[in-house]
Chains A and B, each alone.
Chain A
Amino acid sequence: KNEVEQSPQNLTAQEGEFITINCSYSVGISALHWLQQHPGGGIVSLFMLSSGKKKHGRLIATINIQEKHSSLHITASHPRDSAVYICAASGGGADGLTFGKGTHLIIQP
């Protein structure tokens, strides 16, 4: 069973700061997912990546397959980025994803 660990668990930053959230997993995967969950809200998929780097707006996700590590970066952070960010590993099997516990991010104005 894959173990997915995220750090930090909680992060508070000022508006405009560069944010990094880390994710490590224990066994090989077919893809790594980053998801976002706003307070009281649903869960939205941000990225799925199996190698290299992906960028969408101010969000950048990277993965190092050899190191079994992925990072999610937010540039020029904004209060609306405040949410829980969840990392999840896909083994490619039918049973879906193995989830980390999430990183609770608060961006203060």
Chain B
Amino acid sequence: NAGVTQTPKFRVLKTGQSMTLLCAQDMNHEYMYWYRQDPGMGLRLIHYSVGEGTTAKGEVPDGYNVSRLKKQNFLLGLESAAPSQTSVYFCASGTGYGANVLTFGAGSRLTVL
């Protein structure tokens, strides 16, 4: 089982460029999440989805958009990248029932110059 797969693993962007991070899970999980991890801070929720066709804002949604057109995929888009979006991004998925155990992807390191 692949679990949760994120692509790409590394990316360097220039300010103002756009890009999309892809998260794919093969566990038939309903819930999917995008987090960012910055030095000295805990993981912070960007957006999440409770099922195909749904999305919701998390703690730090500004500058990001998401889509969940298929149950197994959750896309995170940066329309106009800024240096403040330099971070490591983690996708996670879970069943969403009760106390939710999450399965994480390996992370995507994004640098915006």
Within 8 A of B (CB), among A46-98: 48, 50, 86, 88, 90, 92, 94-98
Docked pose: A33 CA to B44 CA in angstroms: 15
Task: Select A33's contact among B33, B40, B101, B103, beta carbons within 8 Å.
Answer: B101
Assess the B100–A90 pair: CB atoms within 8 A. Answer: yes
Residue B112 CB within 8 A of the other chain: no
Task: Select B42's contact among A31, A33, A45, A100, beta carbons within 8 Å.
Answer: A100
Within 8 A of A (CB), among B77-105: 90, 92, 94, 96, 98-105
Task: Select B99's contact among A90, A98, A102, beta carbons within 8 Å.
Answer: A90
Assess the B31–A96 pair: CB atoms within 8 A. Answer: yes
| List of A residues within 8 angstroms of B106 by Cβ | 41-42
CB nearest to A43 among chain B residues: B104
Assess the B101–A48 pair: CB atoms within 8 A. Answer: yes
Chain B interfacial residues counted at CB < 8 A: 26
Assess the B99–A45 pair: CB atoms within 8 A. Answer: no
Assess the A48–B56 pair: CB atoms within 8 A. Answer: no
Docked pose: A80 CA to B45 CA in angstroms: 29
Interface of B with A (CB < 8 Å)?
Answer: 31, 33, 40-45, 48, 50, 56, 58, 90, 92, 94, 96, 98-107
A-B contact pairs, 30 of them (CB 8 A): A4-B42, A30-B98, A30-B99, A31-B99, A33-B101, A33-B102, A41-B106, A42-B105, A42-B106, A43-B92, A43-B104, A43-B107, A45-B102, A86-B43, A90-B99, A92-B98, A92-B99, A94-B31, A94-B56, A95-B45, A96-B33, A96-B100, A96-B102, A97-B43, A97-B100, A97-B102, A98-B42, A99-B43, A101-B41, A101-B42
Given contacts A43-B92, A45-B103, A97-B43, 20 further A-B contacts (CB under 8 A): A4-B42, A33-B102, A41-B106, A42-B90, A42-B104, A42-B106, A42-B107, A43-B107, A45-B101, A50-B99, A88-B43, A94-B50, A94-B96, A96-B92, A96-B94, A96-B102, A100-B42, A101-B41, A101-B42, A102-B42
